[in-house]
Amino acid sequence: MIKKIIALTIILGISVTVIGLSFSGLNSEEVNSDETSLQTEEAIKADVLIPTKVSRPGCDVEDICYIPSKIVIEKGGSVTWLNEDSAFHTVTSGFYEEPTDLFDSGYLDPYQYYTLSFDEIGTYDYFCELHPWMFAQVIVE
Bridge partner list, 114: 81
Q: Exactly one of 131, 135, 136, 140 binds Cu ion (CB under 5 A); which one?
A: 131
Q: Exactly one of 104, 112, 130, 137 binds Cu ion (CB under 5 A); which one?
A: 130
Is the distance from CB of 126 to CB of 92 less than 8 angstroms? yes
Q: How far apart are CA 27 and CA 22, in angstroms?
A: 9
Q: Which of these, 67, 72, 70, 129, lies nearest to 98 by C-alpha position?
A: 129
What's the closest the beta carbon of residue 134 comes to Cu ion, in angstroms? 5
> Is 71 among the residues that bind Cu ion (CB under 5 A)?
no
Binders of Cu ion among residues 81 to 110 (CB under 5 A) are 89
Q: How far apart are CA 20 and CA 18, in angstroms?
A: 5
What's the closest the beta carbon of residue 119 comes to Cu ion, in angstroms? 26
Is the distance from CB of 89 to CB of 50 less than 8 angstroms? yes
Q: Which residue is nearest to Cu ion (CB)?
A: 128
Pick the closer one to Cu ion by CB: 71 or 89: 89
Question: Would you tell me which residues interact with Cu ion (CB under 5 A)?
Answer: 89, 128, 130-131, 134
